[in-house]
A and B are shown apart, each in its own frame.
Chain A
Amino acid sequence: MRNMKRILGYVLMLAALAVPVSAQPIEPPRPPEPPPLPQAPPQAPAGDASAQRVTIPFSDPSRPGTVEMDIVMGNITIKGTSRRDVLVEARTGTGFVPRPPRRRTDDEPPPPGLRRLTQNGGFSVEEDKNTVSIDVGPPRHIDFTIEVPLRTNLNIETVMGSIVVEGVEGELEVESVNGSVTLTNVGGSVVAHTVNGKLTATIARPAPQQPMAFTSMNGSVDVTLPAAVKANLKLRSDQGDVYTDFDLQLRRESSNPNPNPDVDARRNGRARVIDVDNAIYGSVNGGGPDFEMRTFNGNVYVRKGK
């Protein structure tokens, strides 16, 4: 009897695991997809002489796609729009970077009777499995302005440059080393970091149950969250102060229950407790996923949005 129950239990557990899996592939039959469009060739710059535009579609525009890029020099601006594909506009930057020895402007017309074979603009755009990847070859300064569908995941990094994201909803991963990071009116989940810049974020629609993190080494962290947001905040500034207008329920421990952090401090026979962790833990509106806001040199601001 007992054995039977146990076996039954195993079987049911397996069944429970199997259901979501088996339910996955049965989707309403879709019309066969058109073959992926060939990548649009770089269009002749319209109006702006130094800008180059490329549009590239997602292979499955019905699902949120991902845009990823990791560049060394240049600013990146990304805007959520009603379009279904991705428009990449690139401008070779001015200043900041030593010019390449052989001076060549990208909009230079080909000599008479010849056509240019090299890719325009020194960057490439590719799409694979609903991910658009933007690559810049050898480091050169290029500023990007990219228009994406409203719901798009981002994975964006630059070393020498700032990042601006406006009105995009999705999993947003943004990192700069020597520039500021500014996120305006975004939704979903944000994981952002800058080493030497200021980090500013206004979150309009946080994804439920998704942790977020906003960190900087040498800049302030300034985050505006919806007034009704449910979250557990972990706030910390080593050299600065932490400010908020949220009604913060302070807690001693993080949501990550740490049964006894001081046990190990005593393990050498010396009962010595050093309070290093000067982080402030608190929950707003009853608590929710963990949001970490942290900087070393600078202040942390957590503001209540409208």
Chain B
Amino acid sequence: MEHEKLGRLLPDGVEQREADELDATWRMLGAIDAPAPDSERMRARLDAVIDAVEQTQAPARPREVRTYVLQGLAAAAVLVIGISIGWYARPGGSAFGGTRPPSDTSSVSEIAAMRSEMHDLREMVSLSLMQQQSASERIKGVTWTGQLDRPSGEIVTALLDALMHDPNVNVRLATIDALERFASRDDVRRGTIDAVQRQASPLVQIALIDFMVKTNERESVATLRQLAMDPQVNDAVRARAAWGLQQLG
């Protein structure tokens, strides 16, 4: 329904995918909890305002309903506008036979600006999901980084931080998959080698050893050797480290 409405509003030759992605972004933004205003003073002030309103205005209900309808309409309008901006901002129809080629350099730079803004927005969503209290949301944030074209250093730092410090084993496991595409970065190499020694979870240690082997990380050899020799380390981890050494050797 939304799409039909938009189809009427917008120029031809626009790409569905882009709109859907935007749509998904908005939904993700919606899913982020707004900080609950639970300070007692706010509560008291709100109560006072509510009391005052209730005393002065007898029929409060129709007003509420109207506010909700207005809010709903405003949200819908803004969503439509947001999607149209996204559509407008995509580069001049190159993917679909060029119905709207960029006319001058200013529009090109404008599109580039919009793109980078969208990109920033997605990064922001990933980063804030990674800060959520719920492990499931944090996993979502971690996997979402996979959809970023050129993630910033901030994203990589956040992933490494989660690998080191996230209290949940499953979140840490997910970051190892997400870090694979950055395996050539120095900080990722150092971070993963550091993590393999310090991890408390054998499952995460094994996943990290596999990561070293998969990315042919020769700098990890000394660390793997240490792991393989250390009698304190879980047997399966030691065996995996020995296997990793063989593979890298």
Partner of A268, one of B110, B201, B218: B218
Q: Is the CB of A268 within 8 A of B134?
A: no
A2 in contact (CB, < 8 A): yes
Bound complex: CA of A2 vs CA of B218, how far in Å? 53
Cross-chain contact B181 with A193 (CB below 8 angstroms): no
Chain B 158-182 interface 0/1 with A at a Cβ cutoff of 8 Å (1 = within): 0000000000111101100110110
A104 at the interface (CB under 8 A from B): no
Segment touching A, from B11-19, B73-81, B91-99, B223-231: B73-81
CB of B247 closer than 8 Å to a CB of A: yes
- Residue A252 CB within 8 A of the other chain: no
Q: Does A171 contact B (CB under 8 A)?
A: yes
Known: A20-B34, A268-B216, A276-B210. 14 other contacts (CB 8 A): A16-B79, A28-B64, A29-B53, A171-B134, A171-B136, A195-B203, A212-B136, A216-B203, A258-B180, A258-B181, A261-B214, A274-B213, A290-B139, A294-B203
Given contacts A16-B78, A258-B146, contact A189 B136 (CB under 8 A): yes
Q: Are A292 and B173 interface neighbours, CB within 8 A?
A: yes
Question: A209 CA to B74 CA in the complex, in Å?
Answer: 26
Is B127 an interface residue when CB atoms closer than 8 A count as contact? no
Output the least CB separation between A191 and chain B (Å).
Answer: 4
Which one of A6-14, A84-92, A141-149, A160-168 is at the interface?
A6-14
Q: How far is the CB of B113 from chain A (nearest CB, A)?
A: 7
Q: How far is the CB of B81 from chain A (nearest CB, A)?
A: 5
A212-242 residues with Cβ-Cβ distance < 8 A to B are: 212-213, 215-217, 238
Q: Which positions in A face B, CB cutoff 8 Å? A: 2, 5-6, 9, 12-13, 15-17, 19-21, 23-26, 28-29, 32-33, 129, 153, 171, 173, 175, 189-193, 195, 207, 209-213, 215-217, 238, 254-261, 263-268, 270, 272, 274, 276-277, 289-290, 292, 294, 296-297
- Give chain A nearest CB distance to B143 CB in angstroms: 5
Tell me the minimal C-beta distance from B211 to chain A in angstroms. 8
For B170, give its contact among A26, A28, A213, A274 (CB under 8 Å): A213
- Contact between chains at B215 and A256 (CB < 8 Å): no
Shortest CB-to-CB span from B64 to chain A, Å, is 6
Tell me whether B136 and A211 are in contact (CB under 8 A): yes
Chain A min CB distance to B196 (Å)? 14
Once the chains bind, are B169 and A265 in contact (CB under 8 Å)?
no
Tally of chain B residues near chain A (CB < 8 A)? 63
Encoded as 1 (CB less than 8 Å from any A CB) or 0, chain B from 61 to 77 comes to 00010010001001100
Query: Nearest Cβ in chain A — how far from B86, in angstroms?
Result: 10
Chain A residues in 8 Å Cβ range of B170:
191-193, 213, 215, 292
For the complex, give the distance between the alpha carbons of A13 and B113 in Å. Answer: 13
CA distance A23 to B78 in the complex (A): 13
Whether, in the assembled complex, B10 has its beta carbon less than 8 Å from a beta carbon of chain A, the answer is no
Question: Would B213 and A6 count as touching, CB distance under 8 A?
Answer: no
Across the interface, which residues of B come within 8 angstroms of A263, CB to CB?
Answer: 184
Question: Which chain B residue has the least Cβ–Cβ distance from A196?
Answer: B202
Contact A296 B168 (CB under 8 A): no
Confirm or deny: B106 has a beta carbon within 8 angstroms of a beta carbon on chain A: yes
Out of A19, A26, A264, A270, name the residue touching B75 (CB < 8 Å): A19
Q: List 23 A-B contacts (CB under 8 A).
A: A2-B106, A9-B88, A19-B75, A24-B34, A26-B67, A29-B60, A129-B38, A175-B168, A189-B136, A191-B170, A193-B201, A210-B137, A211-B140, A217-B202, A217-B203, A255-B146, A256-B146, A264-B216, A265-B214, A277-B214, A290-B143, A292-B174, A296-B236
A191 and B64 contact, Cβ closer than 8 Å, known pairs A290-B143, A296-B206: no
Q: Give, as a whole number of angstroms, the nearest-CB distance from B134 to chain A.
A: 4
Interface presence of B131 (CB below 8 A): no
Contact B216 A274 (CB under 8 A): yes
Nearest chain A residue, comparing its CB with the CB of B117 = A13
**Chain B: CB-nearest residue to A17:** B29
Q: Which residue of B lies closest to A190 (CB)?
A: B136
Given known A171-B134, A189-B136, A292-B170, contact A12–B78 (CB-CB < 8 A): yes
Smallest Cβ-Cβ distance to B106: which chain A residue: A2
A190 and B243 alpha carbons, distance in the complex (Å): 33
B183 in the interface, Cβ–Cβ < 8 Å?
Answer: yes
Determine if B78 and A213 form an interchain contact, defined as CB atoms under 8 angstroms apart. no
Among candidates B71, B213, B218, residue contacting A23 with C-beta atoms closer than 8 Å: B71
B135 touches A173 (CB 8 A): yes
CB closest chain-A residue, reference B81: A12
**Closest-CB distance, A31 to chain B (whole angstroms):** 9
Q: How far is the CA of A272 from the CA of B54 in the complex (A)?
A: 74
Q: B143 is contacted by which of A6, A173, A211 (Cβ under 8 Å)? A: A211
B85-A191 in contact (CB<8A): no
